[in-house]
Amino acid sequence: MKPHDSAHLHVTGQSEFVDDRPASQNEVFVTVVFSRIAKGRIKKLDVSPVKTDPDFIAFYTAADLHSNRWGTIFQDQPVLAEGTVEFAGEPIALLVTRDRRSGERLRKKIILQIEPLPAIRSVREAIAARSFIGSAREIKRNFDENVFAQAPECIAGHLVIEGADHFYLESQAALAYPIEDGQIEIHSSSQHPTEVQHVVAHALGLPDSAVTTVVKRMGGGFGGKESQAAPIATFAALAAHKLNRPARLILTKDDDMIMTGKRNPFEIDYRVAFDREGRILGLDAKLHSDGGAYADLSTSIMERAMLHSDNAYFIPHMRVQGQVCRTNYHPHTAFRGFGGPKGVAMIERIIEEIAHRLGIDALDIRRKNLYSDQGGRNVTHYGQVVENNQLSICLERAAEASNYERRRQEIQASNQRAIENGENTLRGLSMTLVKFGISFTTRFLNQGNAFVICHRDGTFQVSTGATEMGQGVNARIAQLLAEEFSLPRDQFRMMPTRTDKNANTSPTAASSGTDLNGAAALLAARKLKYRLSEFASKLLELPESRYPSNTAGLGTEAEILISAAPNYTDPNEKPESFGVVFEKGMVYLKRDPQKQIHFASLVNQAYLSRISLSDYAHYRIPGIEFNKLTGQGRAFLYFTQGAAVSEVRIDRLTGEAKVERVDVWMDLGRPIHEGLDLGQVSGAFVQGMGWVTTEKLFYSKDGLLLSHSPSTYKIPNIQDTPRTFNLNLVPNDENYANVRGTKAVGEPPLLLALSVWTAIQDALKQLPRYRDHYPRISIPATQERILRTVDPDAFKQIEGSAFNEFVV
């Protein structure tokens, strides 16, 4: 398999990102003026101190916009704050200067006075004030209070899951070019070019057709550029439109982190009923999320958290309720896994707590509660059948390959010696699973389109609505087409995503980029292949002297006529071959393999016969029938599944946790590109490790993010990766739901990093103080939090201190 299609460009520094585009003549730079307090009334905004500066060009506020409202689900957010601000980092005005240095210099001179107003700064405060976004949701199955009243065992608990920053290497970026007749072309670092197009057009009072968005690649996205790239592009477009000059806006890492939303913090209350063998009888959960000041995608994120609250386990009686809270933080947004990690974190902790209560190994509790094809235990709480169930296979392979049972005995003996001898090191071991639903839960987003061009030399240009953010979606789509025509992958060039070639696209999100766009590209290619196959079946019956290359110019031979290609809708449906074989760059009749023609020659002969060498296709995922009002139906096309076993080592003196070993087994169907898939598994897992261990956000009392740089926000580095890291794929040729039997990989492996979090708690529960209750620790389980859990009494003397505010 060839590597990522941009690998050679990345390592040589030739990859072009938005800010790598050369400066244009007369280009200007846009700097954002934003609030530095959580909530307040704008009393004064005075730009006069900078207007006489030779580097000053313009200054824009909400009054300069045609429309000042945007939002992916609810249009509740101002593009630029007007009158009041609702979060620290909220954009208020745009300063346009000659270059970026002058923008930063002059921004400091602008007089901005904001009168502070009472702010809501926690989920609990929002609940008390009934400050909500959207209505409460409920999904349930056979829920009965008697289950809890009559159950042999019950546990109730509270789980706090804090936010995390996307920390993409390329900050939010946009470059807008005014072109003739009032049009705007925007180069944006965005996962959703169509939303950029529409938000810009609406804000500037232009028709959608006057705005073209171009996305060549992103330096990372992870969901943070699904919705929040749109206002950034709008800021650059406003300046370009007003001044009729190219406008560039590139946020610094500090400004980006301060202004943009994070992974939604959650607070979850749960109670679970179970028998004394560890079988779950009922679950009642209430999920509250911090949506921030505006809706963004938080209601959909909550929905996915609710849908994933079962994870890998059948729960006969279940109710999950969800409510998004409105607070005065940056509007939180999509992040790899969306809401899935929150629901999965809850149920995986519950499994660990049940095991601790009963004195049974958590692996056995998981075995007893797994979804199964036996006894009707294969239907989720929202009514979808778990098809192609690989959960037990993933669990058993991970347990066997990791030597789970032997290591469990060794770790228990090691921890017992450590406690008896006063040693500092404790070890923990835990397995968690994932059953991640693939597709958007909003039905109309499950569509994609593609345009495939075959040139006369046999090379292709392929345009889809997918955006490349490093995940390899372009390489996968090119690989699909290369296999379809039996050609080298380098004959397929994936083009930058443009809204004037692929319109009304869905975001590259929900792990569905290849599912949607790869299927659409394959459908388009198959129409082209159908025509070439029929043409070849007739051409190869002729002597070469009668080929179009020898006769078309003279008009001495009748053209080879072919029929119209069918409009294929199923990417797994093989097109009519007409007895023609495409193999290793050659084309021949199956009944006469000796008579062959090079693919490029065939294409040229087809062109000379006036046969179309390009085609378009639209793909819609079938069978998605989830009713959001009832909370029932088929929410997903299929499930990507997996298991991970993690071992950690904790230092009781410092609270430091080291991940010693991780064994991952993933079901990815039949991978299109195994190397890229394994890269996604490892990257997602390590990113998830950061979320559950080191990545803590710190805010000032005014609601301003303080940890807005690599020096204060700790993403995993090379020293944090597992000392032993075993990645394995479960062979699975039985997935018929998706294109070519593959399964999506972008998000699901991140959730397996929860095994590191549960392994930390597994180590801590060995302490004598946790013999009778589970050592509940929030996410992230930072070094400070671990130390507090090891010896909470030692911290009582500093309770209420300024230090404590940052540590808890």
DSSP annotation string for 256-313: HHHHS--SPPEEEEEEEEE-TT--EEEEEEEEEEE--SS-TTHHHHHHHHHHTSSTTB
Pick from 31, 37, 40, 38: nearest CA to 93: 31
The rounded percent of the chain whose pLDDT value lies above 90 is: 97
- In tens, the pLDDT along 46-83 reads 999 999 999 999 999 999 999 999 999 999 999 999 99
- In tens, the pLDDT along 195-227 reads 999 999 999 999 999 999 999 999 999 999 999
Res 801: pLDDT: 54
- In tens, the pLDDT along 124-133 reads 999 999 999 9
Res 795: pLDDT: 83
Cis peptide before 118 (omega within 30 of 0): no
For residues 157 and 315, give the distance between their C-alpha atoms in angstroms, rounded to a whole number: 18
In the beta sheet, which residues pair with residue 664? 644, 727
Q: Give me the mean pLDDT over the 409-414 stretch.
A: 98
Tokens of 636: 């997903």
Distances (CA, A) of 354 to 92, 124, 396, 642: 50, 27, 20, 22
Q: Give me the mean pLDDT over the 454-483 stretch.
A: 97
Res 574: pLDDT: 86
- Active-site option among 747, 784, 799, 805: 747
For residues 709 and 730, give the distance between their C-alpha atoms in angstroms, rounded to a whole number: 39
- In tens, the pLDDT along 352-398 reads 999 999 999 999 999 999 999 988 999 999 999 999 999 999 999 99
Give me the sign of the Cα torsion angle 95, 100, 104, 105. Answer: negative
Please say whether the beta carbons of 254 and 708 come within 8 A. yes
Res 793: pLDDT: 85
For residues 473 and 419, give the distance between their C-alpha atoms in angstroms, rounded to a whole number: 50
The rounded percent of the chain whose pLDDT value lies above 70 is: 99
Residue 803 binned pLDDT confidence (cut-offs 50, 70, 90): very low
- Give the contacts of 204 (CB within 8 A, at least 6 positions apart): 65, 66, 184, 211, 234, 237, 238, 241
What secondary structure letter does DSSP report for 196?
H
- Give the contacts of 449 (CB within 8 A, at least 6 positions apart): 464, 465, 502, 503, 504, 505, 517, 520, 616, 617, 618, 619
Pick from 322, 304, 103: nearest CA to 748: 304
- In tens, the pLDDT along 634-654 reads 999 999 999 999 999 999 999
pLDDT greater than 50 at residue 134: yes
Res 2: pLDDT: 82
Tokens of 662: 């991780």
pLDDT greater than 50 at residue 805: no
Q: Which structural domains are found in the chain, ordered by start?
A: 24-117+188-248 (3.90.1170.50), 266-440+628-802 (3.30.365.10), 447-620 (3.30.365.10)
Known catalytic residue: 747?
yes
- Give the contacts of 385 (CB within 8 A, at least 6 positions apart): 378, 379
Residue with tokens 């492996």: 749
For residues 371 and 315, give the distance between their C-alpha atoms in angstroms, rounded to a whole number: 9
Res 571: pLDDT: 93
Pick from 552, 557, 537: nearest CA to 608: 552
For residues 194 and 175, give the distance between their C-alpha atoms in angstroms, rounded to a whole number: 16
pLDDT greater than 50 at residue 402: yes
Residue 589, SS3 per DSSP: strand
For residues 612 and 290, give the distance between their C-alpha atoms in angstroms, rounded to a whole number: 53
Parallel/antiparallel/unpaired status of strands 280-290 and 266-274: antiparallel
For residues 678 and 692, give the distance between their C-alpha atoms in angstroms, rounded to a whole number: 21
Residue of 794 and 653 predicted with greater confidence: 653
Res 799: pLDDT: 65
- Give the contacts of 48 (CB within 8 A, at least 6 positions apart): 111
Residue with tokens 């380098």: 490
Residue 364, SS3 per DSSP: helix
Mean pLDDT (the chain, rounded): 96
Tokens of 423: 């040693």
**Which phi and psi angles does 536 have, rounded to 5°?**
-65, -35
Residue 806 binned pLDDT confidence (cut-offs 50, 70, 90): very low
Q: Give me the mean pLDDT over the 531-546 stretch.
A: 97
Give me the sign of the Cα torsion angle 498, 499, 501, 504. Answer: positive
pLDDT greater than 60 at residue 802: no
Res 218: pLDDT: 98
Q: Give me the mean pLDDT over the 627-635 stretch.
A: 97
Q: Give me the mean pLDDT over the 291-312 stretch.
A: 98
For the whole prediction, is pTM greater than 0.85? yes
Residue 808 binned pLDDT confidence (cut-offs 50, 70, 90): very low
Res 800: pLDDT: 56
DSSP annotation string for 33-100: EE-SSSSEEEEEEE-HHHHTSTTEEEEE-GGG-S--EE-SSS--EESS--SEE-STT-EEEEEEESSH
Pick from 499, 672, 585, 476: nearest CA to 6: 476
Distances (CA, A) of 157 to 138, 145, 268, 277: 19, 17, 8, 20
